[in-house]
Chains A and B, each alone.
Chain A
Amino acid sequence: MMKKILTLLWVALVISSAGYAQKDLMSLNEQNKYTYFKVGVAPAMGVNTEALAGYLKNSVSGLQTASFDGPIVTGKGGVLVYKQGLVSGQEEGRIDYKVSIDFKDSKYRIILTDFTFTPYQRNRYGVFAPVDNVNVSLENGSNKFSDKQLNGYLDKLGAYGKKLEKTLTDFLFSKAAVTPKPAGLKKVDTQSW
């Protein structure tokens, strides 16, 4: 019996620590803003950033815009945060972000930053919606959410960034990632037989 209890406790600890470990994926940038920052290996050949932008917009839930400008893909998105209680699961707010992905020397660099939190409240129709178009940067939200909530948001933003990065790498190592070379024509000598 004791062994079963200890096993269950160990499993619960592993599950909970796995969730909280994602906060370690977040860091502070030069402006002291929360940032998901990763550099990874990209294909040696040029990346089709137009195709990448379209792929990300269709594949990443919460990504609202994605555009490309040469070797850089940028976008904006938002994710809902839910309060978890015994019987609730209500929208607590929305965290908006900016993302940029660029390429150099067979490497990609992905940055998610500029996180802003928009609190939600229940309105007269029984749905949870933004309050008076008020939002606050995640770094300055001490009067909108507690430290515990902030830690929860950072955990999940880390997980979200990781998932977005996985979507990026899935694309990079597929055929659509490569910028097609111009079709070269074979040269022939018309004088030869």
Chain B
Amino acid sequence: MTSTYFVQAQDTTKTTATTADPGLTFFGSVDTYYKADFNGKRPGSNVGNIGTSFATDHNSVSIGMVDLGVKKKYNKALFVGELSFGPRGQAQSLPNAAGVYDEETNSFHIQNLYVGYDLTDKLNVTAGYMATFLGYEVISPVGNFNYSTSYMFTNGPFQNAGLKFTYAFSDKVSLMAGIFNDYWNVYQSSREVSTVGGQLMISPVKGWTAYLNVLSGKFSGTEFDLTTAYQITDAFKLGLNAASFSAPQDAGGFAGIALYPQYAVSSAVTLGLRGEYFKNKTKSGAPYSYILPGEDVKAFTLTANVKAGGLTFIPEVRLDNAKSDGSFFKSNGTPSKSAGQFVVAAVYAF
């Protein structure tokens, strides 16, 4: 049972005003799910047809992760340390020390590890290993409405280790610029700190926030991303994510756009739809989440969030339709243009 108490805001410009130390803050979540792929498993694998980052196991009551974080912000200084354990919190989202996604060898389990400092009232500097600033969706199930993930999320960066400065012109406009390790997601650079990134945040009207993002490096490629959400009425929210990625040395890339309309039918129940178009721009070479070079896919995901305190129950149906056969398979192993799945998940956030 929680109660509310009140602490005066931390104001770093006051030389004589005293603020209470809020102490350490703990946060986290646990999640578990069951998924049924309408076509069964992909041939030769234990996973379903759709290349979602999480909720991968077909016909199994499976776990996502235990996520545990600690943070403290007092006056001008901040630190955050966040660990995760389980498939979602290990090989599905984090590389190991060698930079490889391998279930057999341990990772550091670190989702976020960074420190920050308010240089002035408006200027902040942050450094460490941080969740990426690109994209609409995130690793934590607490931060997503849908339980399965979009193609743009799965194929974009998950983390960026580096140093960034954020200047808040006002509560409606801010600008971030940073330098990051040469490759996405890895705990250490391969050679150098050579990826640059920037984010412009604008909030034109109350309830509407938009982020224009760019991340570019000679080893990591270049991604442009637009992420925006507008709480149009108390009940209706509309989100949009658009991204274009070009791999280094003209090795291909992807492009996509997704809409996220959500409607709160009650204080406890919200319905949402994700409609995504995703294209593998590569002419030849590797697929992106099973989507073959030159192919595109339309994915429709209908999700409900049913909340009871810290618990969210998430039933979801998803249908993906590719341009031609080959990205998906039927239950008899023959190539198919379409795939579908049903997921029911439970997430507890604290």
A contact set with B: CB distance below 8 Å: 57-64, 77-85, 87-92, 94, 122-128, 132-135, 143, 148-149, 152-153, 155-157, 159-160
Contact in complex: A58, B7 (CB < 8 Å): no
B177-185, B205-213, B327-335 - interface stretch: B205-213
Q: Which of B16, B78, B133, B230 contacts A58 (CB 8 A)?
A: B16
B contact set with A: CB distance below 8 Å: 1-11, 14-19, 22-27, 69, 71, 73, 78, 80, 82, 111-112, 114, 130-133, 138-140, 142-143, 171-172, 203, 206-209, 229-231, 234, 237, 267, 349-350
> Secondary structure at chain A's binding surface: helix, strand, loop or mixed?
mixed
Docked pose: A135 CA to B234 CA in angstroms? 11
Contact in complex: B15, A133 (CB < 8 Å): no
For B9, the chain A residues whose CB sits under 8 A away are: 61-62, 77-80, 94
Docked pose: A87 CA to B27 CA in angstroms? 8
Instruction: Contacts A88-B350, A125-B80, A143-B234 given; indicate if A133 touches B206 (C-beta within 8 A).
Output: yes
For B138, the chain A residues whose CB sits under 8 A away are: 124
18 more CB-based (< 8 A) A-B contacts, given A78-B9, A126-B131: A62-B8, A62-B9, A63-B11, A77-B9, A83-B2, A84-B5, A88-B2, A91-B25, A123-B143, A125-B114, A126-B111, A133-B207, A133-B208, A134-B231, A148-B3, A152-B4, A153-B4, A155-B6
List 8 A-B pairs, minimum CB-CB distance, nearest first. Answer: A156-B6, A152-B4, A62-B9, A61-B8, A124-B131, A61-B17, A85-B2, A126-B80
For B8, the chain A residues whose CB sits under 8 A away are: 61-62, 79-80, 160
For A149, the chain B residues whose CB sits under 8 A away are: 4
Docked pose: A81 CA to B17 CA in angstroms? 18
Contact in complex: A132, B231 (CB < 8 Å): yes
Q: Which of A57, A61, A63, A84 contacts B4 (CB 8 A)?
A: A84
Minimum distance in angstroms from B14 CB to a CB of chain A: 6
Instruction: Contacts A85-B350, A122-B27, A126-B82 given; indicate if A92 touches B4 (C-beta within 8 A).
Output: yes
Docked pose: A173 CA to B10 CA in angstroms? 27
Docked pose: A148 CA to B10 CA in angstroms? 25
Contact in complex: B267, A143 (CB < 8 Å): yes
Contact in complex: A64, B4 (CB < 8 Å): no
Residue of A nearest to B204 (CB): A133
Minimum distance in angstroms from A121 CB to a CB of chain B: 8
Residue of A nearest to B135 (CB): A124
Docked pose: A28 CA to B117 CA in angstroms? 40
Minimum distance in angstroms from B73 CB to a CB of chain A: 7
Instruction: Contacts A58-B16, A80-B9, A153-B6 given; indicate if A127 touches B73 (C-beta within 8 A).
Output: yes
Instruction: Contacts A82-B5, A88-B25, A160-B8 given; indicate if A134 touches B207 (C-beta within 8 A).
Output: yes
Contact in complex: B143, A132 (CB < 8 Å): no
Contact in complex: A126, B2 (CB < 8 Å): no
For B209, the chain A residues whose CB sits under 8 A away are: 132-133
For A152, the chain B residues whose CB sits under 8 A away are: 3-6
Docked pose: A120 CA to B105 CA in angstroms? 37
Q: Which of A79, A88, A123 contacts B6 (CB 8 A)?
A: A79
Q: Which of B16, B24, B80, B111 contacts A89 (CB 8 A)?
A: B24
Minimum distance in angstroms from B239 CB to a CB of chain A: 9
For B22, the chain A residues whose CB sits under 8 A away are: 82, 89
Minimum distance in angstroms from B229 CB to a CB of chain A: 5
Instruction: Contacts A58-B15, A78-B9, A80-B7 given; indicate if A125 touches B130 (C-beta within 8 A).
Output: yes
Docked pose: A158 CA to B47 CA in angstroms? 57
Q: Which of A81, A122, A126, A132 contacts B208 (CB 8 A)?
A: A132
Instruction: Contacts A133-B203, A133-B208, A135-B206 given; indicate if A159 touches B14 (C-beta within 8 A).
Output: no
Instruction: Contacts A125-B130, A126-B71, A152-B4 given; indicate if A88 touches B229 (C-beta within 8 A).
Output: no
Docked pose: A59 CA to B15 CA in angstroms? 8
Docked pose: A78 CA to B229 CA in angstroms? 24
Residue of A nearest to B18 (CB): A61
Pull 14 A–B residue pairs with CB atoms less than 8 Å apart, ordered by A: A59-B16, A61-B11, A61-B19, A62-B8, A82-B7, A83-B2, A87-B350, A92-B4, A122-B349, A124-B140, A126-B69, A133-B208, A152-B3, A160-B8
Contact in complex: B27, A126 (CB < 8 Å): yes
Minimum distance in angstroms from B209 CB to a CB of chain A: 5
Docked pose: A124 CA to B136 CA in angstroms? 10
For A63, the chain B residues whose CB sits under 8 A away are: 11
For A57, the chain B residues whose CB sits under 8 A away are: 14
Docked pose: A105 CA to B112 CA in angstroms? 58
For B5, the chain A residues whose CB sits under 8 A away are: 81-82, 84, 152, 156
Docked pose: A135 CA to B207 CA in angstroms? 8
Contact in complex: A122, B142 (CB < 8 Å): yes
Docked pose: A80 CA to B74 CA in angstroms? 13
Docked pose: A160 CA to B5 CA in angstroms? 12
